[in-house]
Amino acid sequence: MTVTILDVIRTKRDGGRLSDEQLDWFIDAYTSGEVADEQASALLMAILWRGMEPAELAHWTAAMLASGDRLTLGELGRPTVDKHSTGGVGDKVSLILCPLVAACGVAVPQLSGRGLGHTGGTLDKMESIPGWRADLSPDEMRQVLRETGCVIAAAGSGLVPADRKMYALRDVTGTVASIPLIASSIMSKKIAEGTDALVLDVKVGRGAFLPDRDQAQDLARTMVGLGEAHGVRTAALLTAMDTPLGYAAGNALEVTEAVATLAGGGPPDLVEVTIALAEVMVELAGVQADPGAVLARGGAMDSWRSMVRAQGGDPDAQLPVATEHETVVADSSGFVSGLDARAVGEAVWRLGAGRARKEDPVSPTAGIVCRAKPGDRVVAGQSILELHADSPDRFAPALDALAGAVTISTTRPPAQPMVYERI
């Protein structure tokens, strides 16, 4: 039977299940340029509205995987496990988690991305370290893994090219917010990197990509199912993202906080989420280790320094510092009862730490330091947020984004869990 793009679009438009033959044909034809962007857009919109059955989505993901190369990591001599976060504000967990899990005896091949909109990107943060390099060949990645046990790098152009092309199209056609498309995009790249196991950090709350918990659960279950269907041991944690994670949001600021955490300090919420993810990672890798104890004694610092050095960076270099500062103060005395993560993320973006388009440059120094978090007592006039920028012109739009972001009440709010559930 001859497959045509109109048949594929009509099948999904009318709520049908695309056959394996149709799925294989479309992914191959779109990647090669045989299918036009407007035709692919029509199919993506149909998928957004109609969804995909589990078996259909599994084959769609397999077809995306088949569009490019796959890394092989079997010669490393130790189990491999990766982690993926759906993105948040102040989420520098990967910077701590990779060397921590490596210090526990597991190899961590972390393929990461850049920030877009109100959420930060791991590569942007790491690139604030002088000399550090994200673009590594597969052989270079394997070499860093052999030397240090962990690597944080950009996905190469040969890895799932179908997703790279399709994501750019989704970004400009309003079809990003589809759980099947999100899940297949994430999981095709993670499966392609050749890891034995994968832990997903699915954020829930105001600063998350999917604020609704039911939607976050649906995405987590979908991704876990895809991982297991492709032979990757997979688990997901739903974690809180109503408030920025840790105190710092912004590239160099987050690196500084991550290093402090690796040294045995760090904010309690950041430590809690990092340890929870690390424990699942070493469990799936089949390794007996206590990540909490390793982190508390600074046992992952050597892995961090080795990884940074192996990728061309200087772990002892002075990180860039902003030249301009502004503060947001408490307008009354009491307890901080709310700190809107999305508003903080939006302000960090306006300060220059984020980008509106993938090709935009970012400032390594811009960001926000939270001087008080929910549960903290403050007095009127006390600094709650410290804004960092390279130009004073950045402050007015950032302050507009922060209007109403801080809530102060007369009673201390109850403590909220950082980890909601495991899927």
**H-only helix segments in 202-300:** 213-229, 251-262, 268-285, 291-296
Q: Is 319 exposed, middle or buried (0-12, 13-18, 19+ CB in 10 A)?
A: middle
**Is 185 annotated in the active site?**
yes
**Which one from 82, 91, 124, 163 is the annotated catalytic residue?**
163
**Which one from 178, 185, 188, 303 is the annotated catalytic residue?**
185
Concatenating the DSSP letter of every residue in 332-377 gives: SSEEEEEE-HHHHHHHHIIIIIS-SSTT----SS-EEEES--TT-E
Tokens of 381: 């006039």
* Interhelix angle 301-310/251-262, nearest 10 degrees: 140
Q: Give the residue from 358, 362, 19 showing the smallest Cα distance to 164.
A: 358
**Is 189 annotated in the active site?**
yes
**Which one from 12, 84, 125, 142 is the annotated catalytic residue?**
84
**Is 84 annotated in the active site?**
yes
Q: Give the residue from 120, 139, 184 showing the smallest Cα distance to 353.
A: 120
- CA–CA gap between residue 333 and residue 320 (Å, rounded): 34
**Which one from 170, 203, 206, 371 is the annotated catalytic residue?**
170
**Is 125 annotated in the active site?**
no
**Which one from 12, 59, 142, 189 is the annotated catalytic residue?**
189
Residues with Cβ within 8 Å of 201's Cβ and at least 6 positions away in sequence, in order, are 83, 84, 85, 86, 91, 93, 236, 237, 239, 273, 277
- The beta strands (E) that lie in 126-195 are given as 150-154
Q: Give the residue from 316, 280, 312 showing the smallest Cα distance to 108.
A: 280
Residues belonging to the active site: 84, 163, 170, 185, 189
